[in-house]
Amino acid sequence: GKLKITPSSGGLATALYSFLENEKTTSDQFGSYYWIGVADIPKKKFERASSADQLVENNLVLHPIFLEGRCHDLFYNGFCNSVLWPLFHYFPSYVIYDQHFFDAYKTANNILADQIAELYSPGDVIWIHDYHFMLAPKLLRERLPNATIGFFLHVPFPSFELFRIQPKKWRLEILEGLLGADVVGFHTADYVHHFNESVFRMITQQKRYGLKPYERGVLVKEFPISIDYGKFQNASNQPVIKREVKKIRNRFGNCKLLLSVDRLDYTKAIINRLESFELFLSKNPDYKEKVTYLLLLVPTRDGVLKYRENKKEVEMLISRINGTYGLLSWTPIIYQYKSLDFKKLVTLYSAADIALVVPVRDGMNLVAKEYIASRSTLSGVLILSETAGCANELRDAILVNPNDRHEVAESILQALQQPMSEQRIRINKMQSHLKRYDIRRWATEFIQKLSTDLVEVINDHS
The tens digit of pLDDT for each residue in 72-120 reads 999 999 999 999 999 999 999 999 999 999 999 999 999 999 999 999 9
Does residue 454 have a pLDDT over 80?
no
What's residue 213's pLDDT?
41
**Residue 272 · residue 358 · CB < 8 Å:** yes
The more confident residue out of 137 and 444 is 137
What's residue 461's pLDDT?
36
Write the single-letter amino acid at 237: N
What's residue 25's pLDDT?
63
The confidence band for 31, taking pLDDT boundaries of 50, 70 and 90, is: low
What's residue 60's pLDDT?
76
Tell me the per-residue pLDDT of 79-89, one tens digit each, with 9 for 90 and over: 999 999 999 99
What's residue 457's pLDDT?
40
Does residue 458 have a pLDDT over 60?
no
What's residue 450's pLDDT?
87
Q: In Å, how far from its chain's centre is CA 61?
A: 23
What's residue 177's pLDDT?
97
The confidence band for 453, taking pLDDT boundaries of 50, 70 and 90, is: very low
The confidence band for 17, taking pLDDT boundaries of 50, 70 and 90, is: confident
Q: How many residues does the chain have?
A: 462
What's residue 459's pLDDT?
42
Does residue 220 come out as left (phi exceeding 0), alpha (psi in the -120 to 50 range) or beta?
beta
Does residue 53 have a pLDDT over 70?
no
The confidence band for 130, taking pLDDT boundaries of 50, 70 and 90, is: very high
The confidence band for 315, taking pLDDT boundaries of 50, 70 and 90, is: very high
The more confident residue out of 325 and 8 is 325
Q: What percent of the chain has pLDDT over 70?
A: 90
What's residue 45's pLDDT?
84
Tell me the per-residue pLDDT of 381-411, one tens digit each, with 9 for 90 and over: 999 999 999 999 999 999 999 999 999 999 9
What's residue 244's pLDDT?
96
Rounded Cα gap, residues 266 and 115, in angstroms:
33
The confidence band for 377, taking pLDDT boundaries of 50, 70 and 90, is: very high
The distance between the two most distant Cα atoms of the chain, rounded to a whole number of Å, is 72
The more confident residue out of 59 and 5 is 5
Does residue 1 have a pLDDT over 80?
no
Does residue 412 have a pLDDT over 80?
yes
Q: Select from 332, 338, 345, 348 the least CA-distant residue to 276.
A: 332
Tell me the per-residue pLDDT of 250-303, one tens digit each, with 9 for 90 and over: 999 899 999 999 988 889 999 999 999 999 999 999 999 999 999 999 887 776
CA separation, residue 309 to residues 88, 104, 345 (Å): 20, 25, 26
Does residue 58 have a pLDDT over 70?
no
pTM: 0.90
Does residue 11 have a pLDDT over 70?
no
What's residue 114's pLDDT?
97
What's residue 217's pLDDT?
80
**Residue partners of 184: CB distance under 8 A and separation at least 6:** 137, 150, 151, 152, 153, 178, 195, 218, 219, 220, 221
Q: Select from 271, 314, 213, 210 the least CA-distant residue to 402.
A: 271
Mean pLDDT of the chain, nearest integer: 89
Tell me the per-residue pLDDT of 167-205, one tens digit each, with 9 for 90 and over: 999 999 999 999 999 999 999 999 999 999 999 999 877
